[in-house]
């Protein structure tokens, strides 16, 4: 079916008001939950074919994530949808003021390939919970997962409510010409700009979930052993193809040698070897070559080997690296960890605050002054102190970037708000109103107005 035709059907269906009904929303969220549970093996198989992601990793970073999301909304839709009562000021008496969460209409969700299920379906779940119709455009870079999601959605949901439209740049460009009520995009900053420009043509609001170079800082006041273990996990999970993975490491010179050794030991302990079930492969040849070119063999502290046929790149630590090196210019999005050392924490913080605002940032330190400075002096989307990546697993925290790493946020109630319009309603009584705002004006009325306002 033509996409214009689907959108027309969705607009017509949206106007029937059926999606406003909370029972209707819950019924389809339950249905999506059942579909995910019943089709786990299809989902595991597809993602394994796309980039060798294991059942374990897929379970913890994709499937359970989505099931938790659905459960959250099933439990909270009624509360989130309730009109919020707010105070009414003196000038508007006698009256009542409320904010209604209005569904926006037809939503376009454009997904990225690196967590294909989570990044495509989590926004869809929030959009449906908020009472919208949706079109999903999964990433063509992960074709098997794209096909699996399209199959599940298009065989089980009415197209006038939810529809998956597969395709690459050509199809997305076509989609972007159409007028939606909201576009939710996950992907690179470069394509984010294309989406934003296209949306501006129709004044369509956007949420842009982009990337960036997310630093992890380890100071001399950190618990080094814990820091090393958590950084190795967060960096090499999904072979570094994680938007919130630590991109590079800033480590205090005094603990650098000791810390690098710990990182090396954990990489060995976690067994990220070629062919290992623990370790995902690089998504495609293009990315493989892009990453290989970033490895300066003279700076390899650990790793550095690769196998093109198997799209394997060994977890690699590069040290010492300088700010001018190639690897420090763009988001790495792969299993390479450049290391830069610093002597003065505040100078290091000032330096990274001059760069583009990253999606995430992480600090390992037990010093309160360092923690305060990290939060107050450095602008980034979100992050952790003494951990990496895990902040996005807490549905009570908004997830999103700032500046070059994006705009808007989602997860939990923030996802619901992202796909709702906050409609303000003031309801006035038809009695008890003083006549002072109405003409003819007089000095006396002005005196009263000044007093009241």
d(CA 114, CA 62): 11
Pull the structure tokens for residue 69.
């999301």
What is the Cβ-side half-sphere exposure of residue 262, based on CA atoms within 13 angstroms? 18
CB of 399 to ligand NAD, least distance (A): 7
- Residue tagged 């394509």 (tokens): 191
Alpha-carbon gap, residue 327 to 335, rounded angstroms: 12
Let me know: does 216 contact 259? Beta carbons within 8 Å: no
At 187 the three-state DSSP class reads coil
User: Which two structure tokens, joined as six digits, stand for 217?
Assistant: 């800082």
* Closest C-alpha among 302, 342, 351 to residue 220: 342
The pair of three-digit structure tokens given for residue 211, joined into one six-digit string: 């990337």
Q: For residues 291 and 282, is the Cβ–Cβ distance under 8 A?
A: yes
269 part of the active site: no
Cβ–Cβ under 8 Å, residues 418 and 398:
no
What residues contact residue 233 under an 8 Å CB cut-off, 6+ apart?
Answer: 266, 270, 388, 389
Q: Of 209, 314, 395, 417, which one is the catalytic site residue?
A: 209
CB neighbour burial string for 336-353, b if at least 16 within 10 angstroms, e if fewer: bbbbbbbeebeebbeebe
Number of Cβ within a 10 Å radius of residue 12: 11
118 sits in which H/E element: helix 116-129
Contacts of 156 (CB under 8 A, 6+ apart): 31, 35
Count CA within 13 A, CB hemisphere, residue 188.
Answer: 10
How many Å apart are CA 50 and CA 33, to the nearest integer? 23
Active site residue 384: no
Tokens of 56: 């374990």
Alpha helices in 178-220 (DSSP H): 189-201
CA atoms within 13 A on the CB side of 232: 27
The dihedral built from the CA positions of residue 132, 137, 142 and 146, taken in this order, carries a sign that is positive
Residue 179 or residue 371: which is nearer to ligand NAD going by CB?
Answer: 179
Per-residue b/e over 397-418, b at no fewer than 16 CB within 10 Å?
ebbbbbbbbbbbbbbbbbbbbb
Bridge partners for 338 per DSSP: 318
**β-strands 215-218, 316-318 pairing:** unpaired
Residues that bind ligand NAD (CB under 6 A): 110-114, 119, 137, 139-141, 168-169, 172-173, 186-188, 191, 194, 209-211, 243, 331, 333, 359, 401, 406
Choosing from 243, 314, 384, 395, the catalytic residue is 243
Which residues does the annotation mark as catalytic? 209, 243
């Amino acid at each position: 079916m033509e996409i214009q035709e689907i959108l027309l059907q969705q607009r017509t269906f949206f106007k029937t008001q059926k999606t406003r009904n909370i029972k209707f929303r819950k019924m389809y969220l339950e249905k999506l939950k059942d579909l995910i549970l019943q089709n786990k093996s299809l989902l595991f198989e597809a993602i394994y074919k796309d980039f060798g992601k294991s059942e374990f990793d897929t379970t913890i970073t994709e499937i359970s994530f989505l099931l938790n999301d659905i459960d959250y909304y099933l439990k909270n839709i009624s509360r989130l949808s309730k009109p919020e009562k707010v105070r009414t000021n003196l000038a508007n008496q006698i009256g009542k003021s409320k904010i209604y969460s209005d569904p926006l209409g037809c939503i376009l969700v454009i997904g990225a390939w690196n967590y294909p299920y989570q990044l495509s379906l989590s926004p869809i779940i929030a959009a449906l919970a908020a009472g919208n119709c949706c079109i999903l455009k999964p990433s063509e870079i992960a074709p098997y997962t794209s096909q699996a999601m399209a199959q599940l959605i298009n065989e089980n949901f009415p197209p006038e409510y939810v529809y998956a439209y597969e395709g690459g740049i050509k199809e997305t460009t076509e989609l972007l010409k159409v007028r939606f009520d909201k576009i939710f995009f996950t992907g690179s900053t470069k394509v984010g700009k294309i989406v934003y420009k296209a949306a501006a043509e129709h004044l369509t609001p956007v949420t842009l979930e982009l990337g960036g170079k997310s630093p992890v800082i380890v100071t001399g006041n950190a618990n080094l052993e814990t820091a090393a273990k958590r950084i190795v996990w967060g960096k090499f999970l999904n072979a570094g193809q994680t938007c919130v993975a630590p991109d590079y490491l800033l480590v205090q010179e005094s603990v650098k040698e000791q810390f690098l050794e710990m990182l090396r030991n954990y990489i060995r302990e976690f067994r990220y070897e070629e062919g290992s079930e623990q370790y995902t492969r690089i998504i495609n040849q293009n990315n493989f070559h892009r990453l290989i070119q970033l490895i300066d063999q003279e700076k390899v502290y650990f790793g550095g080997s690769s196998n093109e046929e198997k799209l394997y790149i060994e977890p690699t630590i590069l040290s010492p690296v300088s700010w001018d090196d190639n690897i420090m210019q763009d988001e790495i999005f792969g299993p390479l960890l450049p290391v830069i050392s610093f002597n003065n924490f505040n100078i290091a913080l000032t330096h990274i605050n001059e760069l583009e605002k990253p999606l995430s940032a992480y600090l390992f330190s037990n010093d309160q002054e360092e923690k305060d400075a990290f939060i107050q002096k450095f602008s980034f989307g979100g992050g952790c102190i003494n951990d990496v990546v895990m902040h996005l697993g807490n549905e009570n925290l908004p997830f999103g970037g700032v500046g070059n790493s994006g705009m808007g946020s989602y997860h939990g109630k923030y996802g619901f708000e992202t796909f709702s319009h906050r409609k303000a309603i003031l309801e006035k009584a038809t009695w008890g109103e003083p006549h002072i705002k109405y003409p003819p004006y007089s000095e006396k009325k002005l005196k009263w107005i000044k007093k009241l306002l």
